[in-house]
């Protein structure tokens, strides 16, 4: 089994946060606009105790990495973010264990769908349990996925 961890953070014991990847349709944005989308998202959701870590711009979607109080209704978030784009998917990030073969297949699908952050996380879980050439190969793919995450964030340097 491969342990997959997304490093969920808890602000305090009284106010636990849940981490999500929110996917919005992308009809007009380029990676260079990631910071402006991040600012817009933060402004739209400023009335809530939400952490928006990053915005990543893919060909067909915007990926928002957010943490929200567990007690907050996701429909409020959905409604507010629809000002930027139609919600395609809201994916709660949880720790879990996946079989190596399942992890590699999932990573391939995620990579092909431009979900590079998740690809990186899944492969890192596999990489930790490998050695030799396989470890080197996985490390290379992880580095490519990480570079593409930076590209999606508009960090082209």
Domain of 75 in residue numbering reads as: 2-92
In a domain, 157, yes or no: no
**Mean pLDDT across the chain:** 91
Q: Could you tell me the CA-to-CA distances from 18 to 37, 133, 147 in Å, in that order? A: 21, 36, 26
Average pLDDT over residues 4-26: 71
In a domain, 9, yes or no: yes
- Judge whether 56 and 112 are in contact, CB under 8 Å: no
pLDDT for 1 equals 54
**Residue 10 confidence (pLDDT):** 42
| pTM of the full structure | 0.86
Give the number of domains in the chain: 2
- What is the per-residue pLDDT across 95-125, written as a single tens digit (0 to 9) for each? 877 899 999 999 999 999 999 999 999 999 9
- Domain of 78, CATH number, reads 3.30.70.2750
Shared domain check, 70 and 130: no
């Amino acid at each position: 089994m491969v342990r997959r961890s997304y490093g969920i953070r808890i602000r305090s014991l009284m106010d636990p946060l849940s981490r999500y990847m929110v996917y919005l349709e992308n009809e007009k944005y380029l990676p260079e606009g990631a910071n402006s989308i991040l600012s817009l998202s933060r402004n739209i959701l400023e009335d809530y105790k939400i952490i928006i870590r990053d915005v990543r711009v893919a060909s067909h979607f915007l990926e928002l990495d957010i943490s929200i109080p567990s007690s907050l209704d996701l429909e409020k978030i959905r409604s507010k973010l629809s000002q930027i784009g139609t919600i395609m998917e809201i994916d709660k990030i949880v720790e879990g264990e996946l079989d190596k073969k399942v992890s590699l297949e999932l990573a391939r699908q995620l990579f092909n769908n431009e979900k590079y952050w998740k690809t990186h996380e899944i492969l890192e879980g596999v990489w930790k349990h490998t050695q030799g050439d396989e470890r080197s190969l996985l490390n290379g793919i992880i580095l490519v996925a990480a570079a593409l995450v930076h590209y999606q964030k508009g960090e082209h340097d």
